[in-house]
Amino acid sequence: MSWRRLFAVLIKELRQVRRDRLTFAMMIGIPILQLVLFGFAINGDVRQLPLAVYDADRSTFSRGLVAALETSQYFRVVRRIGGAAEGDELLARGDVQFVLIVPGDFSRKLVRGERPVILLAADATDPAATGNALATVNAIAARAIGRDLTGPLAALQPKEAPFEIRSQRRYNPEGLTRYNIVPGLMGVILTMTMVMMTALAVTRERERGTMENLLATPVSPLEVMVGKIVPYIVIGYVQVAVILITATLLFEVPMVGSVGLLSLMLILYIAANLAIGFTFSTIARNQMQAMQLTFFFFLPSILLSGFMFPFRGMPGWAQNIGEVLPLTHFLRIVRGIMLKGNTLQDVLPHAWPIALFMLVAGTVALMRFRQTLD
C-alpha cells in the first residue's frame, strides 16, 4: 500500500466534492437544519393554546377562572363568543383548540353548594396537543375558585372541588393516536413519493441521454411538464386508495366527511408536490442531487407541518415557515374531512395556500426548464 497514491486519491475526492457545490451545500446544510429544527422548533409541552370563552355567568368566579387559565400559560383566550354553536364552528374549522362554556347560573349554584358544571370542549384530533392542558385544567380551576371562596364562603372549600369541569374530546373521544397519524400519513407519503419521483424523472433522462430526443420533438415546455406530471397523479391516487382502505379496515379510522371533496383536494395537493419535484429536476444535474433536494424539502415538511409534533407547540418563526409548506394545510384538510366532516367552505382557507404554492412552483419550473432548452 502506497501512502503517496492513497493521498493522491484523497485529494482527488476532496476536489470532486468541492466542485459539486450542491452536494457540498447539502452536506453542511442538512445537519444545520436538523440541529435548528430539533433544538429550537420542536416542543412536546404545548402551551398558549387558543381558547374561545362563552361566559354566560359573568361573575367574579367565572372571571377568576378564565384569568387563571390564561395565567397557567396553557391557554390563551383569543375570542369571546356568544353561544355554544359558535364555539362548535370554531372547533370544526380548527380556529381554536378549546371552547370553555360557563353556564349562566354557575355562581348561584356554586354559592348554594350544588356543584355546578363547566364544559371544556377540546379539538382532540391531535391528542398530543391537548393532553397536558386537559390534565392540568381541573387543578388550575380549583385553585382559582378557591381563592374567591373566603370569609362566609370558606365553608364551601371541601376536599372535593365545589364544581365540576367536564372535558369533551371532540372528534377523537378516546384520544387514539392513530386517528391523527394515519390520515397524516397520506400527506407524508404523497410528499415523499411525488416530489422524489418527479425530480428523478427529468434527471434520469438527462443522465441517459434521452433528453435530447425529447427536446427534438415539437413539444413545448408546458406540454413536457404536464405530460410528465399526469401519470404520477394517477399513481398518487392509487397510493391514497391503499391508505384509505387500510385506515378504515385495519385501523378503524372514521370517514365522516365527503370522499369526493377529499379527492378534489388530493388533485390540488398532488399537483403542488409534482410542481416542486419538477423544479428540483431542473436544478439537479444528476439523480443523486435530485434525491438530496427532495430530502432537504421533505425534512422541514415532516417536522414543521404538525405531523410528528404539535404545530401550535412550535415558536412563531417555525409556525410561519410551516404555514408556507403545503403539507401543513393538507394535514388540516384531510383530518378535518375524515374526523370532523368538514365541508368545502371549511377547507377553502387551507386550499388556497396549496394552490398558490403550486402556481409559484410551477412557474419557477417552467422558467428554469426554458433555460435548459436554451
All structural domains of the chain = 49-170 (3.40.1710.10), 177-373 (no CATH)
> Which residue, chain included where needed, has cell 378535518?
336
> Which residue, chain included where needed, has cell 409534482?
274
The predicted model gives 200-207 an average pLDDT of 78
When the pLDDT of each residue in the chain is averaged and rounded to a whole number, the result is: 84
Kindly tell me if the per-residue pLDDT of 89 is higher than 70.
Answer: yes
207-232: b or e for each residue (b if 16 or more CB lie within 10 Å)? eeeebeeeeeeeeebeebbeebbeeb
Q: Is the dihedral of CA 123, 124, 129, 135 positive or negative?
A: positive
pLDDT band at 149 (very low <50, low <70, confident <90, very high): low
Could you tell me if 69 and 75 are in contact, meaning their C-beta atoms sit under 8 angstroms apart? yes
The predicted model gives 50-77 an average pLDDT of 89
pLDDT band at 273 (very low <50, low <70, confident <90, very high): very high
